[in-house]
Structure formats: C-alpha cells, structure tokens
Structure 1
Amino acid sequence: MTIRSDPGEPAADPVPSRSPLLRLAWHRARTVRARLVPGSVRARATFAACSVVAVALTGASLALLGLLHTDLRATAEQGAREQAEAVARLAADGQLTRLLPLTHGTDFVQVVDASGRVLATSQNIAGRPALAPRAAPGPGPAAWDLRPLGVELHQQVTTVVATAPDGQVVVHAGVSLRAADAAESTTAFTLVLGCPLLLLTVAFVTWRVTGRALRPVEAIRAQVAAIGEQALHHRVPIPRGNDEIVRLATTMNAMLDRLDVAGRRQRQFIADASHELRSPIAVLRTQLEVALAHPDPEVRTDLLEGALEDTDRLQSLAADLLLLARLDAGAVERPTRPVDLAEIVRGTVLSLGNEPHRVTLDLQEEVLVLGNRQWLVRLATNLVVNAQRHARHTITVRVYADADPRTSVLEVHNDGPAIRPSDRHRIFERFTRLDDARSRDHGGTGLGLPIALDIAQHHGGTVAVVDSPRGATFQARFPAGGHAV
C-alpha cells in the first residue's frame, strides 16, 4: 500500500493513491462527517446530552416493554394454571361434570382423555372438538390450533396432566391476552410519543443552560479580541459567582495586568534607551566630523580621545541593556549553589580600589547565599560604584547575617547627600538620575541600580534605600544559603 503525504497537509491520507474511487469516497465521507459533527461547544454539549438521553431512553423503553410483556403473560398464565389445577383436582377425585364453571379471567376449560375424547368442557366451547396442537408446533404454550374452538386466537393456554380413576386426563385452560396486548400497545404508543418530547425538552434545556453558562465566555472572548496593543488597560468582565468561568476571567485580567505592565515598561525602556543613545551618538558623530575636518593633529588627537571615551560609554550602555534584556526574559538560570557573600564583596572592593574615596569593609565571614557568583559580583560592583559617585569622603560596606528572618545582608553606605523618601523608589527605575547633570559628567547611565535590583530579585531578594543618620544607605537582602561548596 502506498500512502502519499504532502508537507502542507496535517496528516497522511490513509486511502491508496492508486484507487481514485476510494479516495473520492473517503473524502466525501470526511466531508459529511465534518458537516454532521457540531462545531460549537454549545452544539456539541447539546448533541452529547441528547445522544446519551436517547440511548438511555431507548434502553429503558425496551426494558420496560420487555418487563411488561413478561409480567402480563406471567399473570395470565398464573390465572389459567389456577383454573387448570382446580379442574385437575376434581378429575383426580372423580368429581368431573360435563360442564365446568369458569373462574374470573379464564376464557375456556377443556378436559381430554388419553384417546383424545372430550370428557368435560366449559359452557362456551361445549360440543367443540378436542384442542389439538398446530401442524408445526412452535415453542411456548400458545402453539395450539384454537380455530376449532371458536375462541380468540391470541390466548395463553396452560396444560395440566392429572390422574383420574379411569386413567390420565389432560386439562387445558385458556386466558385471553387481549388486555395484555392493549396494555403493551398503550405503553408502546406512550413511549413513542413521550420519548421524542422528552428528548426535545432535554435538547432545549441543554441548549439554553449551555448558552447561559457560555455567555460570559463569549463576553470574555469578545473583550479580549477587542483589546489591541494600545488598549491593554482594558479588562474582561468578571461574572458573579465562584465557578471556573470566574476563575478564568480573573486569570485573564491578571495576565492582562502583566502584559500592560510589561508593555508600558517596554515602551518606556525603548524611549529611554533611544534618548540615552541619541546624545552620545550625536556627540561622537560631531567629534569625528570635526576631527576629520580639523587640520591641527593635536586637536584631532584630543577629539579622537574624546570619541573613544564616548565609544566606551556606548559599549557600557549596550552591555547594560543586553543584561537587562536577559534578566527580563528570564534567560539567567535560577541559582542553586551557596556562595560566600563576604568573599564576593571583598574581591569586588579590592578590584575597584579606593579611588576616588576610601572604602571601609565590615565583613562577617561565612555569610552564605544561594546565588550566581558572576551576577552577585555585578550587584556589589554597581552598589559600590554608585556610592563612589555620590560620596563626599568615605564609604562603608557591611556584610552580615540577620537571624530574624534568616537573611544575608549587604549594606553600602556613603556620606554623600541623603535620598528623600519620595525618591527612594524612583531611583531604581531605569535611566533615572536624581542629579542628571552630575551623573552624566561621571559617566553614569542610570542603569546601575535597576540592574542591581533585578539581580537581587532574581536571587529571591531585594534592594532598597534604608534610613541612616546621614548620607545614603543601600541594603540588599537575600535568603540565607546552605553550606559553602
């Protein structure tokens, strides 16, 4: 068998390509099936409910008719047997009379001897021949030819054998099944009319209830479809109650909150980055153009040195932007190994040196953090460089373990200007400078503190400005780690 598979099709066609008629029939069957299967959730739910109820009603109706048929015939057979057994007792006692009385519900009684002679009979079939089996008797008690008796053809006939003084006799008793047939017909007619009505009621109720239940979902879908990139502040309606749809709407609004925050942050970041890149690029271009046109080699050298400094600043800014992009995208793995925070801070301060201000260390040994050594070095570097930029004379760096709660703490204090409480949150926003001119003169990009905050949050910690008697104190807190590796 050859199966053709086209890259553009979702699955290989299981019909042999060498059989065009089979392929045509297969595709037509798939088309018909696709048209018959409901497309919406509401229609599928209604179809499924109706299918289940239809199967249940069919099974219940057949079972009811079967039980009714069995019960009615068992009742008729019991009445006929009681009449036959009563006559059999009379025969056994030798008290048979030519005409026998009928009990309530019995249609006829006939007593026949072994030679086929009628010994006794009920008044309504007196003079009739003996009851005989059909020429081709079928199974069951109704396989008798009742036409010679002149009674209804649909009878429940019960036969009892008794021993009379003159020998064995056979007692036949018959009961009409007209009432049973009428009851079965009435029940079947009621089921034929009632089941479709019940099925239509189930379909109607399921359609209405499903539509009412899915109405909030459709409202959520329409609202989400109407929300564009510039309308992320809109939210989906939350219906009343505490069901799955309410939780879906709440989750959708939470997702829209995150998208809105991310979108505004991205737009602000792009605007700030464009602004920050525009100025050094314009200055660099001006320096290069002037250097290219200036005839004095010494002036040209100074201009090129300035251009090199601006190039370094652009390179540093680009590196910071890439790092922030990685942190925002979650490209940095969650740290799982304990590292010594005191050792990291000591190495960072030694590499930076004491220029332009002296750095005093107060380090508690074995202060462990579950962290990435490279990113923690970057965090410590940014905090110390920020302190160097704003300090007047001295900088103090402390590392200690806080027992309540179990936290590792890094504090960087400088004796420069204090930070107002209203600015303590704003300085961690990207490209924010409280003293813009001074920060530009010292080469700051406005990304050092935001990078430090993102690294701390990536480690499950925080960075904040805390109260101090004078100057400014930055405090980074991390969950304490285990044992150093």
Structure 2
Amino acid sequence: MRGRLVAAYAIGLAVVVAVVLGAGYLALAAQLRAASAGELSVRLDDVSAAVEAGDVRPVERDPYAQVISGDTVGARSAATPTTPVLSPREQVVAGHGRMVERRSAGLRGTALLAGRRLPDGRLLVVGTSLATVDDAARRVLVGLAVLGPALVLVLTLGVRRLVGGALAPVAAMTTRARELSTGRLPEPPGADEIATLARTLNEMLDRIDAANRRERAFLDDAAHELRTPIAVLRAELELGVAEEDPRAARRALTAALVEADRLGRLATDLLVIARSRAGALELDRAPTDATIVIRDAAARVARVHALAVEVTGPEVVAEVDPVRLEQVVSNLVGNAAQAGAARVRIAVAQPAGSTLAITVDDDGPGFPEPLLPVVFDRFRGTHGGTGLGLAIVATVARAHGGAATAGNDSALGGARVRVVFG
C-alpha cells in the first residue's frame, strides 16, 4: 500500500512540477522577448524622430538600422548589408507596425526587426539579435530540467518517510495479527483513521472471541447433556441383553426406549438452538388459527402428564409458523409438568402491535429466584429436563420478532411465562 501511495504521489507530483516549470519557462521566455521588443520600440522611436527631422546620422550610428525604399537601401548602419533586410512582403508587415523574426545578415542567431513608415513613404527598419535572450532561456531550461527531477525526488522521499510513519501502526497491527492467537492488536494513540481502525478491529476480535467462547461452552454443555442419556441407554440395553427373565428384560428395554426418546428430543432441541445461532432457523409463517394449534398442543401434553390444562381467550388468526408455535406450547406445558404443576392455564391474546401473545400460568413451585435472570439460557433446567425447553421458547419468539419473559407472579400461585410473537 505504501509503495502504491508513494508511486501515485510521485507520478502526480512529476506531472504538476513539469506543468508548473514548463509554464514558468514559457512565461520567462516570453517576458525576455517582450523586454527586447520594448527596447527595440524605444530605439525605433528615437531614430524615426531624427530621420523625420532630416537627420540620418542616428541611422548610421544605430547598431542595426536601414532606411529602405523599395528594393534599395538609403542610410544604414555599418552592420547591415547593402540590400534590404526585409523582403517586400515583410516590409508590408513591418509597415503596419508588426515586428518580424528572421535570420538577418549582421546579427547572431534570430533577429527581431521593427519598422515604421516615414512620411515620404520610405521604411525605417531597426533590429536586434535575440541570441542573448535565447541563450538565457536555454540556460533556464537546462536548470529547470535538473531542478524538476531533483525536486520530485526530494519531495517523494519526504512523502515516503511521512507515509511510512503514518502506516507504521498498520504494519505493527499486521505483524501482531500474524502472531495472534489470543489478545488484541496494538492501538496507536489519537483519534485518527488508523487508531479508529485498530479499535474497530479489536472490537471485532472481542466479538469473535466471545462467539468462540459461547461456541465452546455450547459444545461442552451439549456433550455433557448427551453423555447422561447415552450412558443410561447403554446401561439399560446391557441389562436387557444380560437379563434372563423376559419381564425384567422388557422393563430394561422399555427404560431404554424412554432414554432413546429423551435423547431424540435433546438432539432435536440442540438442532433448533444450533440453527438459531447460525441464523438458519427457517420459519414457515402463514395465517394460522393460533388458538386451535395452542389448544391441540396443550391437550396432547396434558394427556401424557395427566395435567388439567385450560385455554382461554378469543379465536386468534396470526401470521406465525404453526410448527414452531406448537413447539413453544408443548415446551411450556411440559416444563410446567416437570416442575410439579397439576394445573396450567394458557391465555391467548392479540395485543396491538403484536401478532400473538401467550401467557402460561401454573400452580407449581415457580422458578428459583436466582435462576429468573437466566431462565431462558441453555441447559438451565431445574426439574430433570434437558434445560433447552425454555431456551427454544425464547429462540422461536425472537425468530418471530418477539420476546419471552418469565416470573413467579402467576394467578395460580406458580410460574408465569409470557411469549409475544412480533
């Protein structure tokens, strides 16, 4: 990056220096020629005034002057030839007050010639050599040709040093990032773009590190939760294989089947949590008779656990995923049953600004007060469950744009969980 910046700067600077020095050279050359033209005009005025007064001696004393009449030369300076220094066409041009540049005998290099038409029709011509002007311009050009590249080189080296200093923190961050396994990048002081970049990258590293810690904790918790049902399942199967009494073997296999069901539910719950964490929990939202889905799901769980379940509220049609809604209700009622509740009441509502709201009250012991702030976290079960039921409830609610809350303010004396779908 530093090389590209310096190269771009050097190219841009070279163009600017070339334009500026070139314009300066052209302006200087034009100024030198203008000065020569001014001096020549003064000489022409002086000599012309004398000739018009009848005195041709100033012509003869002038460094370079002629009085031309057609193709003949009258009075002239010693340095001029005996023939006209201007062609007939150039005489016309000079007669109109315009100066002529050309090679002329008696003058070194290019000559600048100025003329004036006298009252008697003759043409007075004076001239000067531009060799001195051209030599001075060439010397300036050579100097600029040396100065320009030197200036570009010096400024480029200076900018390279400045850019290197400005980007040194980036190089330090790059080196540190290559070596980094844990920790943070060095943050330069100040509030410029480099310091902001370092802070932003460190914030990103903190988020990645936190996500990795959560991932490791999730895997550790999942492995721990899976280990118990697998061990129980293996033990029951080994017992069934070793048992000679068919009835005892059947009891062992039945217990193994229960553990297999538990293991399957745990795997399903883990899959839901994992998909939610990856942002891949898909919802199939559709207009759903939510009250019927809730009533059916609650009745199925109630039959399994011998619960008294009551569903109250209006018939609500909501834009939700019916499968996930059923999962939420099953988890909430099942959680109440595992907590020891004998009675559950589900209130269905459709408050303003929300698609659906479910409030589940039970007459169980409620949530332990220390667990209320983390009751929706993974693996927080307190009644022999997997600890994922309420976590899935909160996950599904968030996926619908809503939220879940928990407390011990149930009208039935136990726990209350409220789930709102956005």
| 2:343 is equivalent to residue 394 of structure 1 | yes
Report if the CA contact (8 A) 1:162-1:169 is conserved.
yes
Taking a change above 3 Å as real, the CA distance of residues 196 and 257 of structure 1, as seen in their structure-2 partners, is same
Taking a change above 3 Å as real, the CA distance of residues 319 and 406 of structure 1, as seen in their structure-2 partners, is closer
Residue type at the aligned position of 1:462? A
Aligned to 1:218: 171
Aligned to 1:461: 402
| 2:110 is equivalent to residue 110 of structure 1 | no
Distance 2:171 2:133 in 1: 54
- 1:422-441 alignment runs, 5 A limit: 422-435=370-383, 439=384
| 2:110 is equivalent to residue 160 of structure 1 | no
Residue type at the aligned position of 2:9? A
| 2:391 is equivalent to residue 450 of structure 1 | yes
Residue type at the aligned position of 1:384? V
Distance 1:346 1:95 in 2: 132
* Number of residue pairs the alignment of both structures matches: 409
- 1:29-428 alignment runs, 5 A limit: 41-84=1-44, 87-88=47-48, 91=51, 93=52, 95-100=54-59, 107-121=63-77, 125=78, 129-130=82-83, 132=85, 141-147=100-106, 152-154=107-109, 156-160=111-115, 162-165=117-120, 168-177=121-130, 180-181=133-134, 183-228=136-181, 231=182, 234-333=183-282, 339=288, 341-353=290-302, 355-366=305-316, 368=318, 371-403=320-352, 408-428=356-376
Task: Give, in angstroms, the shift of residue 448 of structure 1.
Answer: 0.9
Task: Give, in angstroms, the shift of residue 477 of structure 1.
Answer: 2.7
Structure 1: give runs of 5+ residues left out of the alignment.
Answer: 1-40, 480-485
3-state secondary structure, aligned to 2:360:
strand
Distance 1:266 1:409 in 2: 31
Report if the CA contact (8 A) 2:6-2:156 is conserved.
yes
Aligned to 2:94: none
Distance 2:306 2:192 in 1: 63
Task: Give, in angstroms, the shift of residue 42 of structure 1.
Answer: 0.5
Task: Give, in angstroms, the shift of residue 242 of structure 1.
Answer: 4.2
Task: Give, in angstroms, the shift of residue 81 of structure 1.
Answer: 3.7
TM-score between the two structures when normalised by the length of structure 1: 0.74
3-state secondary structure, aligned to 1:429:
coil
Aligned to 2:96: none
Q: Deviations over 1:266-312 (max 9, x none)?
A: 21222222222222222222222232232222222222222222222
Residue type at the aligned position of 1:426? V
Q: Deviations over 1:53-85 (max 9, x none)?
A: 011211222222223222322332243245335
Distance 1:68 1:127 in 2: 30
Distance 1:289 1:406 in 2: 52
Aligned to 1:18: none
Task: Give, in angstroms, the shift of residue 394 of structure 1.
Answer: 1.7
TM-score between the two structures when normalised by the length of structure 2: 0.84
Distance 2:217 2:379 in 1: 10
Distance 1:95 1:380 in 2: 128
Taking a change above 3 Å as real, the CA distance of residues 221 and 79 of structure 1, as seen in their structure-2 partners, is same
CA RMSD of aligned residues (A): 3.1
Taking a change above 3 Å as real, the CA distance of residues 218 and 343 of structure 1, as seen in their structure-2 partners, is farther
Report if the CA contact (8 A) 1:460-1:478 is conserved.
yes
Task: Give, in angstroms, the shift of residue 345 of structure 1.
Answer: 2.5
Report if the CA contact (8 A) 2:290-2:316 is conserved.
yes
Residue type at the aligned position of 2:10? C
Task: Give, in angstroms, the shift of residue 50 of structure 1.
Answer: 0.4
Flag as ranges the 4+ runs of structure 1 deviating above 6 A: none
Taking a change above 3 Å as real, the CA distance of residues 161 and 334 of structure 1, as seen in their structure-2 partners, is farther
3-state secondary structure, aligned to 1:270:
helix
3-state secondary structure, aligned to 2:184:
coil
Report if the CA contact (8 A) 1:413-1:473 is conserved.
yes
Residue type at the aligned position of 1:464? T
Taking a change above 3 Å as real, the CA distance of residues 132 and 179 of structure 1, as seen in their structure-2 partners, is closer
3-state secondary structure, aligned to 1:428:
coil
Task: Give, in angstroms, the shift of residue 334 of structure 1.
Answer: 6.2
3-state secondary structure, aligned to 1:424:
helix
Report if the CA contact (8 A) 1:84-1:158 is conserved.
no
- Percent identical pairs in the alignment equals 30
